[in-house]
Amino acid sequence: MIAQLNLLLVLCSSLLVRSCCQKLQSGPAPDWVGFGVSLTPAKGVAWSQQHNFLVGTTQGEVITVDDSGNPATFLDDSHLGTVLGIVTVESLNLLYLCTVQNLSEELGNSGVLLVALDSGDSLNYLPLATNESAYPSDITVDEITGTAFVVDSSLAIIYRITNGKTVEAWITTPEIRSVTGITLANNGSILLAVSEKGYLLALDTTEKTPTISNCKLSQALNEARDISVDTHTNEEVIVAAKDKIFRVTAPPDGWLSEGLFQVSQCDPKLSLPIRACTLRNGSLELFHDSSSKNQNYFYFEKYAEGFEQETPELITANRNGISPEGIEWSDVQQGFFLSSTTDGSIYLADDSGLVQQFVPQSTTGIASVGIHTDNMQGIVVYGFHNASIFSGPVVGFECGINILDIVSRNVIQTVDLSFFPDTTSRHLINDVTTDSLGNIYGTDSFGNLVWKVSQWRDGLSVSVSATFAIIVNSSVCSSLGLNGIAQIPHSNNLLVGSCTSGQLFLLYTESSNYTEVTLSEPIWGTDGLVVCPSGACAYSTSASWMYYIETSDTWLSATVTKYSSQFSTEYGTTTATLRYGEPYALHSKIVLRHTNLAQRPSPGDYVTLRVDVRAARDVGGPGIIKRLRKKGLSIEEADKTCMMLDCYPLGAESHHECREFAQERGMRLLDVDQGIGSHVLIRRGIVGPGGVFACTDSHANIVGAVGALGLGMGEVDIAHLFATGETWFKVPPSVKLELTGTLPETSTPKDVALALLQTFHCDTFLGASMELVGSYTESLDLAGRITICSLATELGVLAILIQPTEEILRATSCNSIGHHDLQPDDDAQYSQVLTFDISHVQPLVSLPGNPENVVTVKEILGTKIDSCLIGSCTNSSIEDLRVVAKILSGRPVATGVILKIVPATRGDYVQALEEGLMKIFLDSGAIVANPGCAGCAAGQVGQTGVGEVSLSSGNRNFPGKQGGGQVFLASPATIAASALMGHITTTDFL
C-alpha cells in the first residue's frame, strides 16, 4: 500500500541523500565537432582504422563515413534486412553484423553476418532465431579470442559465437529483455549490459553456464541506448540514455561484486536522441538517431577528452507498476523487503534505493501481501492471495504463505491456507509475524481470524486460532477487519490491530486468551504494525496516517500519537533494525531465544531452557533408559533426541540396550560405526549455530565451534530432557577473549589451546560462557575451532562460542535457517574482556597429571616415549590426519614405539582412505582403528599400561584417565614427529 511505500522512502531518505546526492564539480566547457549525413535510417554504428565510421541501415546497407562526413556504400544486400548491431575486429579483419528481417527462403529471421573488413565480401552467415519476435539489438566481440556476444532483447537471450561459426544460447533470463547495449570489460572476462528500463547487468564470460552476478536498477538510465567501456581503466563505462550521457563506475570490489554502481550524469546537454556511443582514445563519440529531424539524417558528435561529471544521479526505490503492500527491514541483507500486490513478486531495496526483484509467483494474478523478516531464524515470511479473490473464480491456492531463506532468498516452504474451516467464504491474508519458537502467525481480514503455522520445517501442522473467532462473534464488534500483527520482543505475545474498529488486541499465545488494549485514540486502518525493539512502543500505518503507540510493559493501555505519513521528522530517525532491546552478548541471544523470558536474564538467574538436540552416550545411556522406563515417560520430539554409541566400543550389552531403546522410541541413533557423536552432529549440521545441545559428555561445549551452546549433564538431567525437551539452567556470566597477532608457522591450534591453559589455568573463567573472537579465530577452519573448543572444559568455562562464518556453515552442511545474524551486539557488556597475543606461541606439551601443566617442547626435548595416540574429539578430524600423513610419508615409526590412529568419524575414515592416507599410516607402521573417542574410556584404543609413557592428542591427562601410564598432551604435528624419532621432539628436528 502507499503508506508502506511512504514508510520505506522516509526510512531510506537520509541514506539516499548521503550516498547519492553529493554535488560533483563541473568541468571545462566541452569541445565539440560534428557532422550530419543524409542516409537511409541508420541503426548500428562501428569504427575502423580503414573506413572510419561504418553505419548499418534499415535497408541492408553498410555505409562508410569519413571524418568530414562523406558517405560511401561499403555493403549493399537487401537480404540483410535491418542491420541492428555492428562491430569491427581489426585484428581479425572482420566486420560482424546483427540482422533481422521478415522470413525469407534465403535467410532465417535473425542472424549474424561475418564480412571481410578490407574487401566487403560476405564470409559466413550464422542464423540465430527464426522467431518473428527476434530482435538482435547489439553485438560485442573479444578482439583477442574473436568470441562474439549477441543480445536479443526481445527473446531475452544472449548468444555466444566462437571460432566465427559456432552459435550457442549462452544465457536466457528475463533480465535481458529490453537490453539495448552490451560491451566487454576486463579484457573480455566481463560482459556489461544496459537496458532501456534502467538496469545495468554484469556477467562473467568465463562461465559456461553464467548467472547474473550483479544487477542494479537506476532510474537515471531509463531509455538507455548503448554502453561503451573505458578501455584505459576497465572500471568505467559510458551509457547513452536517449538525450543524456552517464558515467558508471564499477563497485569497489569489481563489476561482478554485489556492490553498488556509481552513476553520475556527464556535461553534454543534448537535443537529439542518441543511437549509440563509444569511448575511444579518451574521447566520447555520440551517434544520434535521426527520428527527430529529417528521417534520412544521421548525426555524429565528438566530445573532446577531459569531459567532466556535472550532475549527480538521484536514485529512488520507486518502480513503475509496483504497489508495495508490506515492508520489513533485514539486518542480514541490509535492505528492505517489499511485497507487491501488482505482480506477486518480492523486492529488496538497499539503502541507496536500488531495487532487486526476485521470487516471482509462477501463477499470474497473484498478489503478495504482508511480509516479515525473522533475523534470528533466518527467514522471510510473506502472504499471498489470488487476485481474483475479490471477484470471479479462484484458480489454485486461494491464499497461503511463502517462507524464504533470508540469505539465498529461495523459497524453502509454501503453505496452503485455503482450507480455513469456513470454506464457503473467501479469506485474505493481511499481515504475518513470527515468535521465538519458530511459529508463524497471520491475520485474515475476510474471515476475521488469526492463524498459526507450526512445525513447518518438519511437515506442516496448521491450525486456526479460535481466540479471534470468539472476538468476532462477541458483542464488541461484528466485523473487526483484523489486519496488522506483530510479536512483542522478549515474549511470545502478539499485538493484533483492527482496521475497522481502530483497536488493538493483545493475544497471549501460551493461554489463547486476549485482552483489548485501551487506547488514548483509535488507530484507524492498521495496514502495518511493528513493535519497537524495546517492546515498549509500536508503529502502525494506514493509507494517510502514521501512529506512534507508547505503552507500559503490560500493554494493557497505550498512548497514541498520530502523524501524517508524509511527516518524517517524528519517526524518520527510528531504524527498522531489530535487536533485543539492550545490548546482548552471544550466549544471551541464544538463551533468550530458547526461553519465554520477557527480558534478558542476569548472570546467576535460573531459567527454563529449551534444548534443540539432546543426547546420551553408551556410557550413561542404560541409566537414562532405566529412569524413563521406571517413570513411564515418553520421549519429547524423538527426532531431536539421540543415542550415541561412541565411547565404549566393547560395551556390547550397553550398546544392545541403547540400540533397542532408540529403535523402539523412534530416536536418532548414531551407532558404533559412526564415530564421535558430537563430531557427527556438527558435520551433518544436526547441531547448528544458535542452537542448544545437551549430552552426557563433559565436552559437549565442543559444539561452540559452530556457534552452538553445548551443555554437559548427568543422567538425571538428560533423562528429564528426553521426556520434556527442557531443563533448568543457571545463566553464566559472559567473557570475551580476543586472540591477537599472527601464529608462527610451526605452531597449531592445539598449541594455542595449550597456551591458553598455561596462561589462564582452569579458574580464571570458571563457570563463565566465553566468546572467542579476533582475526585468527575468524580464520580458523572447522577442525581448528573444534580443537580449541574441545579444551574449553579444561579451561574452566561452562560454554565457549565462536561466531560461524559462511565457510563453516558450508563445511557442516548446516541448514541456514536461523543462524546468519548470530553475532553479539557491538556494545554488549561482559564480565571480563581480555586479549591474548598468539605471536609467540611455540609448540607446546602438557605434562602428565593436569592439562594446565604446560611447557614448551624444547624444555622436555628428548623425553623417551613408548606410544603415541592421534585421536579423541580434540584432534582426529581429516584435517589432523592430513598433517600426520604429510610428516609420516616415506618414514617408519621408531622401533619400540606404537603409533595408534583413531579417526573421529566414519566420514573422516573414508576420506582418509580415498586420499591414500591409510596406506601412508600402515606403511609407516601405525595402527588404525575404527572411528570413535579413542583413549578416553576403558577398552578404547589409546589406553596405557603402568609405566608406559604416551604422547596423546587428547584433552585430558589426569592420572588414570587413559590407563595407568603417563600421558603427555601435544599437537598431531608434534606427535607424528616424536613417533618417528622415539622421543618427544618437533618437526624442526626431523
Write the DSSP assignment of 94-157 as a string of letters: EEEEEEE-S--SSS-SEEEEEEETTT--EEEEEE----TT--EEEEEE-TTT--EEEEETTTTE
pLDDT-derived band at 303, boundaries 50, 70, 90: low
The pLDDT, as a whole number, for residue 789 is 97
Q: Is the predicted pLDDT of residue 607 greater than 80, yes or no?
A: yes
pLDDT-derived band at 589, boundaries 50, 70, 90: confident
Q: What percent of the chain has pLDDT over 70?
A: 66
Q: Please give the Cα distance from 431 to 495 (Å, whole number).
A: 12
pLDDT-derived band at 572, boundaries 50, 70, 90: very low
The pLDDT, as a whole number, for residue 58 is 61
Q: Which of 190-204, 213-227, 564-578, 740-754 has the lowest mean pLDDT?
A: 564-578
Q: Is the predicted pLDDT of residue 90 greater than 80, yes or no?
A: no
Q: What percent of the chain has pLDDT over 90?
A: 30
Q: Are strands 832-837 and 734-740 parallel, antiparallel or unpaired?
A: parallel
678, 699 contact by CB (below 8 A): yes
Q: Is the predicted pLDDT of residue 858 greater than 90, yes or no?
A: yes
pLDDT top residue among 639 and 321: 639
Q: Is the predicted pLDDT of residue 96 greater than 60, yes or no?
A: yes
880, 980 contact by CB (below 8 A): no
618, 642 contact by CB (below 8 A): no
The pLDDT, as a whole number, for residue 811 is 76
The pLDDT, as a whole number, for residue 617 is 92
Q: Comparing C-alpha atoms, which of 480, 446, 450 is closest to residue 462?
A: 450
Three cell numbers at 407?
540469505
Q: Is the predicted pLDDT of residue 488 greater than 70, yes or no?
A: yes
Three cell numbers at 220?
537515471
Per DSSP, the three-state class of 674 is coil
The pLDDT, as a whole number, for residue 967 is 96
Q: Is the predicted pLDDT of residue 455 greater than 50, yes or no?
A: yes
The pLDDT, as a whole number, for residue 581 is 40
The pLDDT, as a whole number, for residue 712 is 94
Read out DSSP for 848-860?
TT-TT-EEEGGGG
pLDDT-derived band at 875, boundaries 50, 70, 90: very high
Q: Which of 31-40, 748-757, 796-805 has the lowest mean pLDDT?
A: 31-40
Residue in this structure with the C-alpha cell 540514455, named with its chain if needed: 241
Read out DSSP for 759-781?
HHTTTTTTT-EEEEESHHHHH--
Read out DSSP for 206-269?
T-SS--EEEEEEEEEEETEEEEEE-TTTSSEEEEEETTEEEEEE--TT-TTSSSPPEEEEES--
Q: Is the predicted pLDDT of residue 202 greater than 50, yes or no?
A: yes
Q: Is the predicted pLDDT of residue 214 greater than 60, yes or no?
A: yes
Q: Is the predicted pLDDT of residue 549 greater than 60, yes or no?
A: yes
The phi, psi pair for 272, rounded to 5°, reads: -110, 140
pLDDT-derived band at 168, boundaries 50, 70, 90: confident
The pLDDT, as a whole number, for residue 94 is 78
The pLDDT, as a whole number, for residue 814 is 55
The pLDDT, as a whole number, for residue 326 is 57
Q: Please give the Cα distance from 704 to 698 (Å, whole number).
A: 13
Q: Is the predicted pLDDT of residue 354 greater than 50, yes or no?
A: no
The pLDDT, as a whole number, for residue 319 is 33
The pLDDT, as a whole number, for residue 17 is 20
Which of 440-454, 595-609, 797-811 ranks highest by mean pLDDT? Answer: 797-811
Q: Please give the Cα distance from 983 to 860 (Å, whole number).
A: 10
The 10s digit of each residue's pLDDT in 755-804 is 999 999 988 999 999 999 999 999 999 999 999 999 999 999 999 999 98
Q: Is the predicted pLDDT of residue 863 greater than 90, yes or no?
A: yes
pLDDT-derived band at 396, boundaries 50, 70, 90: very low
Tell me, letter by letter, the H, E, C secondary structure of 575-626: CCCCCCCCCCCHHHHHHHHCCCCCCCCCCCCEEEEECCEEEEECCCHHHHHH
HSE value, Cβ hemisphere, 13 Å, CA-based, for 877: 22
pLDDT-derived band at 948, boundaries 50, 70, 90: very high
Q: Is the predicted pLDDT of residue 241 greater than 90, yes or no?
A: no
Tell me the pLDDT of the chain averaged across its residues.
75
The pLDDT, as a whole number, for residue 236 is 77
The pLDDT, as a whole number, for residue 785 is 97
Q: Please give the Cα distance from 903 to 928 (Å, whole number).
A: 8
Q: Is the predicted pLDDT of residue 99 greater than 70, yes or no?
A: yes
Q: Please give the Cα distance from 193 to 239 (Å, whole number).
A: 10
The 10s digit of each residue's pLDDT in 42-52 is 455 665 556 56
Q: Please give the Cα distance from 298 to 813 (Å, whole number).
A: 60
Q: What is the Cα 5 distance to its own chain's centre?
A: 25
Phi-psi region of 813 (alpha: psi -120 to 50; beta: other; left: phi over 0): left
Q: Is the predicted pLDDT of residue 310 greater than 90, yes or no?
A: no
User: Residues with Cβ < 8 Å from 70, sequence gap 6 or more?
Assistant: none
The pLDDT, as a whole number, for residue 1 is 29
CA-to-CA dists, residue 399 to 444, 445, 472, angstroms: 10, 12, 21
Phi-psi region of 707 (alpha: psi -120 to 50; beta: other; left: phi over 0): left
The pLDDT, as a whole number, for residue 6 is 34
Which of 405-414, 433-442, 645-654, 832-841 ranks highest by mean pLDDT? Answer: 832-841
The pLDDT, as a whole number, for residue 337 is 64
The pLDDT, as a whole number, for residue 59 is 61
pLDDT-derived band at 575, boundaries 50, 70, 90: very low
27, 564 contact by CB (below 8 A): no
pLDDT-derived band at 321, boundaries 50, 70, 90: very low
pLDDT top residue among 253 and 842: 842
* Span 221-236, average pLDDT: 72
Q: Please give the Cα distance from 928 to 702 (Å, whole number).
A: 24
The pLDDT, as a whole number, for residue 392 is 43
pLDDT top residue among 740 and 273: 740
> What is the signed CA dihedral for 371, 373, 378, 383, rounded to 10 degrees?
-10
The pLDDT, as a whole number, for residue 132 is 67
Which of 120-129, 364-373, 776-785 ranks highest by mean pLDDT? Answer: 776-785
Q: Is the predicted pLDDT of residue 286 greater than 70, yes or no?
A: no
The conformation of residue 842, written as its DSSP 8-state character, comes to: P
Per DSSP, the three-state class of 377 is coil
Q: Is the predicted pLDDT of residue 447 greater than 80, yes or no?
A: no
Read out DSSP for 295-335?
TTEEEEEEE-TT--EEEEPP--S--TT--EEEEEEETTTTE
The 10s digit of each residue's pLDDT in 644-702 is 998 876 667 789 999 999 999 999 999 999 999 999 999 888 898 888 999 999 999 99
Q: Is the predicted pLDDT of residue 929 greater than 60, yes or no?
A: yes
pLDDT-derived band at 551, boundaries 50, 70, 90: confident
201, 179 contact by CB (below 8 A): yes
pLDDT top residue among 538 and 600: 538
| Partners of residue 903 on adjacent β-strands | none
The pLDDT, as a whole number, for residue 212 is 80
Q: Is the predicted pLDDT of residue 471 greater than 80, yes or no?
A: no
